Amino acid sequence: MDFMKLFGTVIAVLFYPGSSSKINGQRICRRGTERPCYKVSYIQESRRRLTFEDARQACRSDGGDLLSIETESEQRLMERFIEQLQAGDGDFWIGLRRSPQRYRPGSTSPGCPSQYYWLDGSKAKFRNWHWDEPSCGFEMCVVLHYQPSAPPDEEGHFLFQWNDDNCNSKNNYVCKYPEEKVQVFTEEGDKAHAGTTCT
């Protein structure tokens, strides 16, 4: 994905006054029109924020899903989006969730971090957990941490790091509208092999 082009688009948007409101709730697409597109929803009034499932439905209702963050550069892009909103405190749901059927109450499986999966079907292994997360237990839905007014602990503010949260908490959210799926008849094995040798 050509994220530098997308950065250019974002920077162009930011030259205009009132740019925060332009980004909030608006789709921003690669090169202006190409997918993936993103939509950051910051809801100032905290009681009007959404649970994980409601946020997901909001994304799906217009053809997207909660955000998958597949690479370091995509993570940085989301940080730029949120910084430009100049938003107050409030975490952002992303589309990472622990598989409910594998959860056994009262146990913290050592394999817990590997049980988180992207709702949009992405197999990306990129993760940006805070050093003390995921805490597992009853927290199964993942947020980008965003509490800029909180005093930094010894680890710093840890803004934008990931935390698993109670799925019924109310948060802001980010939607992603994926690249168009094109049916390509190649063997998965070949593609995987090419991917690992092309670094």
Q: Of the ranges 92-100, 123-131, 161-169, 190-198, which one interacts with Ca ion (CB under 5 A)?
A: 161-169
Binding of residue 53 to Ca ion (CB under 5 A): no
Among residues 33, 95, 91, 48, the alpha carbon closest in space to that of 68 is found at: 95
Query: Which amino acid is residue 174, in one-letter code?
Result: V
Are 173 and 93 spatial neighbours (Cβ–Cβ below 8 Å)? yes
Q: Of the ranges 15-23, 46-54, 97-105, 136-144, which one interacts with Ca ion (CB under 5 A)?
A: 136-144
Longest CA–CA separation in the chain, Å:
53
* Binds Ca ion by CB under 5 A, chosen from 163, 173, 175, 177: 163
> Could you tell me which residues come within 8 angstroms of residue 7 by beta carbon, excluding any fewer than 6 positions away?
77, 80
Q: Which is nearer to Ca ion, 30 or 127 (CB)?
A: 127
Using a 10 angstrom Cβ sphere, with 0-12 exposed, 13-18 middle and 19 or more buried, the burial of residue 135 is middle
* Binds Ca ion by CB under 5 A, chosen from 139, 157, 169, 178: 139
Q: Which is nearer to Ca ion, 65 or 164 (CB)?
A: 164
In the complex, least distance from residue 115 CB atom to Ca ion, rounded to whole angstroms = 14
Binding of residue 164 to Ca ion (CB under 5 A): yes
Q: Of the ranges 4-12, 73-81, 128-136, 142-150, which one interacts with Ca ion (CB under 5 A)?
A: 128-136
Binding of residue 135 to Ca ion (CB under 5 A): yes
Using a 10 angstrom Cβ sphere, with 0-12 exposed, 13-18 middle and 19 or more buried, the burial of residue 93 is buried
Footprint on this chain of Ca ion (rule: CB under 5 A): 133, 135, 139, 163-164
